[in-house]
Amino acid sequence: MQALHLLMGKILHSRKGRLRVWMGTLGLGIAALLLLIAVQMQSDFSELLEGKQNKETNTQYLVINRQLNNNNLNAGGLREDELAALKKLPEVSAVGIMQPGYFKASLSSTSDRFPFYTDVSFETVSSDFLDEIPEHWTWQEKDDYVPIIVPSLYLDLYNFQFALAQQLPQLTPEVVKMIFFNIRIQGPNGEVVLIGKVAGFSDRIQSMLVPQEFMQWCNARFAQGEKRNPSRILIKTKDATSPVLNQFLEKNQLQADKEKTRYSKYREIVNWIAGISGLSGLLMLVFAALVLSLFIQLNIVSKQDEIRLLIQLGASPQQMIGFLMKKFYPPNAFIVLIALGLVAILQYLLFGWLQKKTIGVSAWISPLTLLAALLLILLMGVVNRIAIGRSVKDNPTR
Amino acid sequence: MQIRLQQIIPIPLQEKQLAVDSDIWGNNRTFHSGEHIKITAASGRGKTTLAHFLIGLRTDYSGTLTVQEKNLANFSAAEMAIWRREQLGVVFQDLRLFPHLTIRENIDLKKFLAPRHIGENTVEWMAEQLGIADLLNTQAGICSYGEQQRAAIIRALAQPFAWLLLDEPFSHLDKKNRQQAISLIQSVITQRGAGLILLDLESDNHFSYHQSFQL
């Protein structure tokens, strides 16, 4: 067979159309490269969003509330259908209702030596959503004090603005946690004064938080008006920049922390670029396959007399197809392998570059990219086989 | 391996009423295995046409041509390939060598196409018998017609066959070379017990024919 193929190679060897071969091969190579890069990009995105390496750093909490405008002031909080739809989004892994207190509250000093007074409002949320859970984060009527979580920002405002302006001493978090104060709760059914204490600080939630048990007790006794929908919620998401999530918020006139969702637009653009790259790769692949198919047929037509004579001398269609497949297919499959090798090198370089920015992607190409390359090689085989089979069939054997 | 011609008339030649005085066209003829057949015809009577019918290159005829009782016109591409490379050795009138291959490569091609090879020594021996041993590595395209014709004869003999079809096989050979070719062909077909169909312009006694026809 080897000797026969050598002879057939010599018979069908042609210097003509070499440029066509190179153009077709280059087109195929670029198309395969674009397509494999698009597949690898999608794998990298998935890894960045869902990979173990990045999971912890990517999990984010967003406080969501209604966008207020002149038309929806006092229109109520988030409806149940909106909450249900939000829970169904794949980007949202948990939803926590932020329950506000429907009563008046104020804090005041327990000592005349350091007098202070401020009106406040409280909120509560499930402890699953807290960034730091204080040691004693619960409340019962018989307890000595009510624990409160305060935004870290409040302490910063006091220490770096208020204290400096008012000639007051700066306070460390530990000192603040030692101060007891009065909490006065007022409602239509009367009022109560309790002792409170700062139990912890939160970077995540910009609100004065109390244990859920305390909030239920207060609302049951001192709430004013009817029960309303929650005005704010907290969601846990692994992708705060998800275009799907942000489109949902926009559509429902909701808003979240803009700082955290700012990159959503960029993500959307990157997704578009990856999509366009994949689509152009696919289009180029179709064209390259077409060019290759035409090139193979042209090549065979230009050697029609030789092929006809070979058939007249007794070469079977299978022998011809076997030889022509051996002539055309391995270079095509090799091109796809070269494209795969280039993607592997690019991925390794990307890994090194992103590592310096503490972003973790794999150093190796994904199994999906390998599978795509394998499918491409198979596709090339099918295109080659069809083009060759058609050309041999078109050659008169009589 | 029997070849049967039943009422064969080439469609392009029908209008010329060739069948009127032909032993072949429009008649029923049977060529039995191992027979030596001589078909003589003047130019334009359809010798090469008949050769092409037998090779399976053309099917534009009325009537039926069967090989082992199977209609040649209905052979599949694979069956046709087997017929041409294992059962029918052919020396074409126009030789049909690949001009940019050497004589040896032209012969080897036929040798490699068939699953059963003849030995390299046999090719050398045949080339010596026909006086072209020193041309084996020369491109066929630059050899003379006589040399190419001898190469075409060896190529036909280099494959397995049950029938050897020769279409004016000695047209470019002088008397001495013709005699050498006849001796070689005779020895090979005797050795293989193969049949012979020789198409030529004139009658001759190159071989001892079992049947002779005027086309």
The more confidently predicted of residues A54 and A184 is A184
Q: Are A210 and A148 within 8 A, CB to CB?
A: yes
Q: How far apart are CA A6 and CA B105, in angstroms?
A: 10
What distance in Å separates residue A305's CA from the closest CA in chain B? 10
pLDDT in tens, A305-330: 888 888 888 888 888 888 888 888 88
Mean pLDDT of chain A: 83
pLDDT in tens, A198-237: 999 998 888 999 999 999 999 888 887 776 778 888 888 8
Q: Which residues of A touch B57 (CB under 8 A)?
A: 312, 398
- In the structure, what pLDDT confidence band is assigned to residue A133 with cuts at 50, 70 and 90? confident
Of B82, B100, B109, the CB nearest to A313: B109
> If we measure between CA atoms, which residue out of B41, B161, B35, B58 comes closest to residue A396?
B58
What distance in Å separates residue A328's CA from the closest CA in chain B? 21
Tell me how many domains chain B contains.
Answer: 1
Q: Identify the pLDDT of residue B5.
A: 94
Q: Are B54 and B164 within 8 A, CB to CB?
A: no
Are residues A314 and B112, on separate chains, in Cβ contact within 8 Å?
no
Q: Identify the pLDDT of residue A379.
A: 85
Q: Identify the pLDDT of residue A106.
A: 93
Average pLDDT over residues B52-61: 92
Average pLDDT over residues B157-167: 93
B 100-119 near A (Cβ less than 8 A): 100-101, 105, 108-110, 112-114
Q: Which residues of A touch B98 (CB under 8 A)?
A: 11, 306, 309
Q: Identify the pLDDT of residue B46.
A: 87
Q: Identify the pLDDT of residue A50.
A: 60
Query: Is residue A57 over pLDDT 80?
Result: no
Q: How far apart are CA A106 and CA A104, in angstroms?
A: 7
Q: Identify the pLDDT of residue A198.
A: 93
A 310-349 near B (Cβ less than 8 A): 310-319
What distance in Å separates residue A379's CA from the closest CA in chain B? 27
Q: Are A398 and B58 within 8 A, CB to CB?
A: yes
Of A3, A309, A397, the CB nearest to B112: A3
Query: Is residue B132 over pLDDT 90?
Result: yes
Of A11, A314, A318, the CB nearest to B101: A11
Range scoring the smallest mean pLDDT among A152-156, A243-247, A344-348, A370-374: A243-247
Q: Identify the pLDDT of residue A272.
A: 77
Q: Identify the pLDDT of residue B168.
A: 92
Chain A interface includes B59 (CB < 8 A): yes
Q: Identify the pLDDT of residue A361.
A: 81
Q: Which residues of B touch A310 (CB under 8 A)?
A: 109
Q: Residue B27 sits in which domain range?
A: 3-214
B 156-215 near A (Cβ less than 8 A): 159
What distance in Å separates residue A398's CA from the closest CA in chain B? 3
- In the structure, what pLDDT confidence band is assigned to residue A132 with cuts at 50, 70 and 90? confident
Q: Identify the pLDDT of residue A395.
A: 56
Q: How far apart are CA A163 and CA B38, in angstroms?
A: 126
Query: Is residue A51 over pLDDT 70?
Result: no
Residues in chain B: 215
- What are the structural domain ranges in chain A? 2-55+266-394, 60-237
Q: Identify the pLDDT of residue B148.
A: 95
Q: What element of type H or E holds B179? A: helix B175-192
- In the structure, what pLDDT confidence band is assigned to residue A37 with cuts at 50, 70 and 90? confident
pLDDT in tens, B75-131: 988 899 999 989 999 999 999 999 989 999 999 888 888 766 677 788 899 999 999
Q: How far apart are CA B87 and CA B79, in angstroms?
A: 11
Q: Identify the pLDDT of residue A240.
A: 77
Q: Which residues of B touch A306 (CB under 8 A)?
A: 98
Q: Which residues of A touch B159 (CB under 8 A)?
A: 314
Q: Identify the pLDDT of residue B116.
A: 66
pLDDT in tens, B199-209: 999 888 899 99
Amino acid at A216: Q
Query: Is residue A172 over pLDDT 80?
Result: yes
Mean pLDDT of chain B: 90
Are residues B57 and A312, on separate chains, in Cβ contact within 8 Å?
yes
pLDDT in tens, A260-280: 666 666 666 767 777 777 787
Query: Is residue B69 over pLDDT 70?
Result: yes
Are residues A314 and B81, on separate chains, in Cβ contact within 8 Å?
yes
A63 phi and psi angles, rounded to 5 deg: -90, 125
Q: B82: nearest CA in chain A?
A: A314
CATH number, residue B162: 3.40.50.300
Q: Which residues of A touch B113 (CB under 8 A)?
A: 4, 313-315, 319
Chain B interface includes A7 (CB < 8 A): yes
Query: Is residue A391 over pLDDT 80?
Result: no
Q: Identify the pLDDT of residue B210.
A: 93
Write the ipTM.
0.89
The percent of residues in chain B predicted with pLDDT above 90, rounded, is: 68
pLDDT in tens, A75-118: 667 888 888 888 888 888 888 988 888 889 999 988 887 788 99
Are residues A11 and B108, on separate chains, in Cβ contact within 8 Å?
no
pLDDT in tens, B163-183: 999 999 999 999 999 999 999
Are residues B81 and A317, on separate chains, in Cβ contact within 8 Å?
yes
Chain A interface includes B85 (CB < 8 A): yes
Are residues A7 and B56, on separate chains, in Cβ contact within 8 Å?
no
Q: Which residues of A touch B110 (CB under 8 A)?
A: 313-314
Query: Is residue A397 over pLDDT 60?
Result: no
Q: How far apart are CA A61 and CA A203, in angstroms?
A: 11
